[in-house]
Amino acid sequence: MTDKPKAIVPLKTKKAAESASTRQDKSYQPQALEKKWQEKWEADKLYRAVIDNSKPKHYALTMLPYPSGDLHIGHWFSMIPPDTRARFMRMRGYNVMFPMGFDAFGLPAENAAIKDGIHPMKRTFQNIDRMRTQMKTMGAMFDWEREAISADPSYYKWTEWFFIQLYKAGLAYRKMSAVDWCPNCNTTLAREQVWGDDRHCERCGTPVIKKDLEQWFFKATKYADELLNFDGIDWPERVKTLQTNWIDRSEGASVIFKTEIGSHNVEIFTTRPDTLWGATFMVFSPEHPLVDEITTPENKAAVNEYKAQAARQTDIQRGAVDKEKTGVFTGAYAINPVNQARIPIWIADYVMMSYGTGAIMAVPAHDERDFAFARKYELPIIPVIQPEGQSEAPVLESAYVGPGIMINSGMLNGTKVNTEKGRKNPSIAAVLDWLTQQGIGKESVNYRYRDWLISRQRYWGAPIPMVHCEIHGWNPVPDDQLPVTLPEDVEWKPTGESPLKLHPTWKHTTCPVCNGPATRETDTMDTFMCSSWYHLRYLSPKYDKGPFDEAEYNYWMPVDTYTGGIEHATMHLLYTRFFHKALRDIGLTEGHEPMLQLRNQGMVLGEDGDKMSKSKGNVIAPDVLVNRYGADTVRAYILFFARWEMGAPWDSQGIEGSARWVRRVWTLFTDPTPPTTASEETKKNLRRKVHQTLKRVTRDFENFEFNTIVSSLMELMNEMYKAREAGAAGSDEWQEAQEIYLKMMAPVTPHIAEELWTNHLGKPYSIHQQGWPVVDEAATREDSIEIPVQINGKVRDKVIVPAEATEDEIKSAALASETVRKYLEGKEPRKVIVAKGRLVSIVL
RNA sequence: GCCGAAGUGGCGGAAUAGGCAGACGCGCACGACUCAAAAUCGUGUUCCCUACGGGAAUGAGGGUUCGAUUCCCUCCUUCGGCACCA
């Protein structure tokens, strides 16, 4: 083992390569060392998580990847910091489960199949094998025996089963509506999957169009209020805000207006019922179902022309805020229920069918849009709120949206109006009560949030397990016929219909009710359905009596820490909360939330500061880095190079610093120990630094502050080099420093820590089964401290006092200083402030 | 327009509770080792000044305070989300 290096190498003309390799025999060789330990840990099932009631459990979950085929540096950035934390929790005595799997359904594999004919199943499972191999080089503590793959029939059987449970609970329904369609992905999308000003597809960036289709939805809106409640969960404010804005609850009233002819009830939603008396016209969305019926013959032509024009426009054109308002009169009138006023009904494209009821009451005096519209078409404007202090109704230059008192509003005249929303506004509260009492309207809450559209016209997804019969309508596939599996022989054609629909036989089946001929639903489910419950499949991925084993559920759930990208704030993270609540009501899960704590990582950008992409050629391949530096160095750099929650551009030179650190640690632990000659003070200082670092590292792990963990360890290493120089090596304090150092390092760089622990310190395998060291608070305390002395806010001197010095002692020490006396010029200071243990501030 | 996050050296970033701004690292400069280079080790590295010493500085301006990167107000910039939302 400790063979003397063959010092007498004949002549160095020999070849540089050989002398280098001789040197490497005792030097740090990460590739061999990492492979050795990874194999041993796997053979020993070191990271296998099994129920153990003697320990507190910790379920650490990180978002599962899509098997794109190659591991990306972004995967390292999202997985390694949570891995180090899971390891830390394990050393702290928790029984930790840290599972991994693949979100394996989805468009890329199917699109590739259209291009080259390779079956998505084949490609996906090949990609998974490749990525799993790559992931194993990370040295992470994934429990691979809990791996779950959403495209595996043993998994999607339960995705289908869950759909049926939701259907039976009345939470899944089929409806014809205008839905968002991505012409590139050839499928419908949920509202959450349409992004940005130009309303583009979240996946491919293509602007979406509207299509009228019959689709399956989940009744997510039933949980809107509950989803706004984040009590009891520790989630970032940012995510909570995004979800809250997405759901966008607004309080107001729904009021029924009757049409003059036909006496149709037209429901409108308003957040300003206190302005009802100022409603001088109504506006319907051009798509409103009543438009055709109420339009008078002489207005038919103009209305139809306007409708056609509106239909031609894209949502983006229609949605342009600064666009001039246009509209046409239908010839019909409605009766304002509060004052029986006869008011005209117009159609205009500034009213959207997709929000509220698609019809509004227009109050031009107190709404900017209605005001602009009324001015343009010379419609009456009646003020019903008078700014306080003004005696007359104001002449309006623009809509007045401020506070005041109600006027022109019958018996409610004089009621105060403030700028609060809902019942907090006395005028709104008064009108709500009055409306209810009169039976004209009622208090009402409206949301922007829509039900979750889950139908996708694609092949590579979990089939929607529903069967349609001419006589019995839609019925779920019986449990004993699950899973409905995907046929393997399909034609890859981008037709806009699922290949399942074009398959010659697959869709033909029998009705579960009458056994007569019936057809299967040929759409598949949104892949977000699969990822809404994967955390449950990890509990027991091979279990076949249900989606999960209850014993596992009872022990491990809920998820203690969940980590992933912020981009899922209103998609996956909202879906999975909805899903959990739905399952809870069905009686399958417990508690109100699936994930107690959430933390988001930022993004690794290319070296040019742009998003990494193959087309830009700025992609950093982790495999190359692992080959060159070893996984430990890459892990350390991943932690060190950026704030985890922020992300940053990659810096290829920066990794040299982490590589240097790892090598210097290796040298520190493997170089022969010089004789121990250090003073007591040196040893005490070393011990202090060790425990101070331990305190900080412990805190940083708790707080997900990974970058400072590595810098603290670098700092301590620098101190240890100095202590060694000062003769501390070999002392008891040195021994302790080495042990604590490796334990702190173990979560970050598990391989080198294990190697040094077992083979150089001779400690029992495995370091990863050691307890986390305990901070000796007494040891962290300084004996004496240097206290800066400020004069008029500027640091002029520093005095050294014993750590336990009283305020008075510190004060006199400061006043005794030469420099201070010079500034004082014999005068008494006006004021002396002593911040104990920190600073003295003298005011002249 | 509304909501949210972030602005600190050439760069990534530090800074328990309002108390020495710039830890740690990259880069750069100089030095040692080397025939030389790489690696390694050491020293220095916010800016300005007539450099012993002093002044300025955490996006800008103001406020509170003995003292502000940190608290308050106004504004600017960047990024993200929402948006004729009734």
Model pLDDT for residues A638-660, shown as the tens digit of each residue: 999 999 999 999 999 999 999 99
Of A residues 712-731, those with CB within 7 angstroms of nucleic strand B are 714-715, 718, 721
pLDDT digits (tens, 9 = 90+) for A22-48: 334 468 999 999 999 999 999 999 999
Q: What is the pLDDT of residue A393?
A: 57
pLDDT digits (tens, 9 = 90+) for A136-168: 999 999 999 999 999 999 999 999 999 999 999
Q: Does residue A248 surpass a pLDDT of 70? A: yes
Asked if the Cβ of residue A792 lies within 7 A of any atom of strand B, the reply is: yes
Smallest CA–C1' separation from A843: which nucleotide?
A: B66
Rounded distance between C-alpha atoms, residue A493 and residue A293, angstroms: 42
Residue A394: pLDDT band by 50, 70, 90 thresholds? low
Q: Does residue A16 surpass a pLDDT of 50? A: no
- Strand B contact nucleotides, protein CB < 7 Å: 3-5, 11-16, 19-21, 23-27, 40-42, 54-56, 66-68, 81-86
Q: Does residue A695 surpass a pLDDT of 60? A: yes
Can you tell me which residue has the tokens 């949301």? A447
Residue A319: pLDDT band by 50, 70, 90 thresholds? low
Mutual angle of helices A572-586 and A153-168, in 10-degree steps: 60
Smallest CA–C1' separation from A357: which nucleotide?
A: B86
Q: Does residue A193 surpass a pLDDT of 70? A: yes
Mutual angle of helices A622-629 and A631-640, in 10-degree steps: 120
Average pLDDT, chain A: 90
How far does the CA of A27 sit from the C1' of B37, in Å? Answer: 22
A406-415, A437-446, A604-613: which range is least confident on average? A604-613
Q: What is the pLDDT of residue A320?
A: 61
> Residues of CATH 3.90.740.10 domain(s) within chain A?
249-447
Q: Does residue A272 surpass a pLDDT of 80? A: yes
Of A residues 565-604, those with CB within 7 angstroms of nucleic strand B are 570
The mean per-residue pLDDT over the stretch A398-420 comes to 89
Between A183 and A693, the more confident residue is A693
Those residues with Cβ within 8 angstroms of residue A234's Cβ, 6 or more apart along the chain or in another chain: A596, A597, A598
Q: Does residue A244 surpass a pLDDT of 60? A: yes
Q: Does residue A554 surpass a pLDDT of 60? A: yes
The mean per-residue pLDDT over the stretch A728-755 comes to 96
Contact A5, A25 (CB under 8 A): yes
Q: Does residue A12 surpass a pLDDT of 50? A: no
How far does the CA of A197 sit from the C1' of B83, in Å? Answer: 9
Smallest CA–C1' separation from A238: which nucleotide?
A: B4
Q: What is the pLDDT of residue A20?
A: 37
pLDDT digits (tens, 9 = 90+) for A212-226: 899 999 999 999 999
The mean per-residue pLDDT over the stretch A724-752 comes to 95
Q: Does residue A206 surpass a pLDDT of 90? A: no
Of A residues 349-368, those with CB within 7 angstroms of nucleic strand B are 349-358, 360-361, 367
pLDDT digits (tens, 9 = 90+) for A778-789: 999 888 888 888
Q: What is the pLDDT of residue A150?
A: 97
Asked if the Cβ of residue A788 lies within 7 A of any atom of strand B, the reply is: yes
CA atoms within 13 A on the CB side of A651: 12
Residue A316: pLDDT band by 50, 70, 90 thresholds? low
DSSP A292: H
* Paired tokens of A349: 């494209």
CATH for A622-779? 1.10.730.10
Residue A317: pLDDT band by 50, 70, 90 thresholds? low
Of A residues 632-661, those with CB within 7 angstroms of nucleic strand B are 640-643, 646-649, 651, 653-654, 656-658, 660-661
Strand pairing category for A187-189 and A265-270: unpaired
Residue A815: pLDDT band by 50, 70, 90 thresholds? confident
Asked if the Cβ of residue A246 lies within 7 A of any atom of strand B, the reply is: yes
Rounded distance between C-alpha atoms, residue A104 and residue A159, angstroms: 13
Q: What is the pLDDT of residue A614?
A: 84
Residues β-bridged to residue A842: A791, A832
Q: What is the pLDDT of residue A101?
A: 97
How far does the CA of A664 sit from the C1' of B31, in Å? Answer: 21
pLDDT digits (tens, 9 = 90+) for A669-680: 999 888 899 899
CATH for A782-843? 3.10.20.590
Which residue from A120, A31, A174 is spatially nearest to A624, judged by alpha carbons? A31
Strand pairing category for A249-259 and A517-520: unpaired
Asked if the Cβ of residue A748 lies within 7 A of any atom of strand B, the reply is: no
Q: Does residue A387 surpass a pLDDT of 70? A: yes
Q: Does residue A817 surpass a pLDDT of 50? A: yes
pLDDT digits (tens, 9 = 90+) for A329-374: 999 999 999 999 999 999 999 998 888 999 999 999 999 899 999 9
> Residues of CATH 1.10.730.10 domain(s) within chain A?
622-779
User: A249-447: CATH homologous superfamily?
Assistant: Valyl/Leucyl/Isoleucyl-tRNA synthetase, editing domain (3.90.740.10)
Phi, psi (degrees; rounded to nearest 5) at A540: -165, 75
Q: How far is C-alpha A568 from the chain's CA centre?
A: 5
Q: What is the pLDDT of residue A321?
A: 58
Q: What is the pLDDT of residue A242?
A: 92
Mutual angle of helices A631-640 and A73-91, in 10-degree steps: 90
Smallest CA–C1' separation from A270: which nucleotide?
A: B86
Between A817 and A29, the more confident residue is A29
pLDDT digits (tens, 9 = 90+) for A75-132: 999 999 999 999 999 999 999 999 999 999 999 899 899 888 899 999 999 999 999 9
Residue A4: pLDDT band by 50, 70, 90 thresholds? very low
A350-354, A698-702, A755-759: which range is least confident on average? A350-354
Q: What is the pLDDT of residue A21?
A: 35
How far does the CA of A622 sit from the C1' of B26, in Å? Answer: 19
Q: What is the pLDDT of residue A627?
A: 94
Of A residues 63-122, those with CB within 7 angstroms of nucleic strand B are none
Q: How far is CA A728 from CA A147, A268, A350, A679, A816, in A?
A: 48, 81, 78, 8, 36
> Residues of CATH 3.10.20.590 domain(s) within chain A?
782-843
